[in-house]
Amino acid sequence: MSRQLDLAIISIFPQMFEPFCKHGVVGKAVASGLVGLNLYNPRDYADDKHRTVDDRPYGGGAGMVMAAPPLREAVVAAKKSREQAKVIYLTPQGRSLDQEYLVELFERDQHIFVCGRYEGLDERFIQKYVDEECSLGDFVISGGELAAMVVVDALARLLPGVCGNYESVQEDSFYQGLLDYPHYTRPLVFEDVAVPEVLTSGDHQAIKDWRDKQRVNSTRLKRPDLLEVALGAHTDTSR
């Protein structure tokens, strides 16, 4: 039986995910049943007629804070069919997402992603119901929805059968700690620059050796910090 991911997303803007679930890698994964993606709107669990999910912060200050009760009820609903799922809050204060963290997430079949908005979530909800905090990096966007899409897309493409050629996934940047090698396609010559001869040689070993070398060179040039980790602290980068 094929590996499947069972994912839940808690968001006050579930409509943002409608086109996301119908197109590209995620659309294919959802349509094939390899990824189950269910949306939970905290407004559906609010207890007032206005379906309020936020309020002014205690102590004053700008903006609004997402209230704990509707978020809690949304998590409880998502947990009913995902008892083993960890609750992951998408926030700039979380652990930075990289390929290593992504692989850790991929080892688990179930996840519940919470998308924050406004000034964030009531801290009491975070302390009691959130298991992990995940960040795309040291910057701020308007909400966790885009971050959730990034994580879901990255997880989905790790599933065999989602991408057309699974070998291409294994050769992606960061998959083995190095950046990807350069890619070329037709035409053979573009603006007086030809495709490297080795790629048209038909010599598969020579092509592999060239690509391996290019991965190291590209990483050394663009992300030398990765090279030290991938090749070891004693890697000779003088060549």
Strands 65-66 and 54-55: antiparallel
Identify the active-site residue in 117, 157, 215, 220: 157
Q: Is 228 a catalytic residue?
A: no
Identify the active-site residue in 6, 73, 109, 119: 119
Q: Is 108 a catalytic residue?
A: no
Name the β-bridge partners of 114.
10, 89
Closest CA to 106 of 149, 144, 174, 153: 153
Output phi, psi for 181, to 5 deg.
-85, 165
Closest CA to 70 of 35, 38, 41, 105: 41
**What amino acid occupies position 226?**
L
Torsion of CA 157, 161, 165, 169, to 10 degrees: 30
Q: Is 172 a catalytic residue?
A: yes
Q: Is 3 a catalytic residue?
A: no
Identify the active-site residue in 172, 180, 182, 211: 172
- Cβ-contact 111, 156 below 8 angstroms: no
Identify the active-site residue in 92, 117, 145, 215: 92
Question: What proportions of the chain, in percent to the nearest 5, are helix, strand and coil?
Answer: 40, 20, 45
Catalytic positions, written as ranges? 92, 119, 157, 172
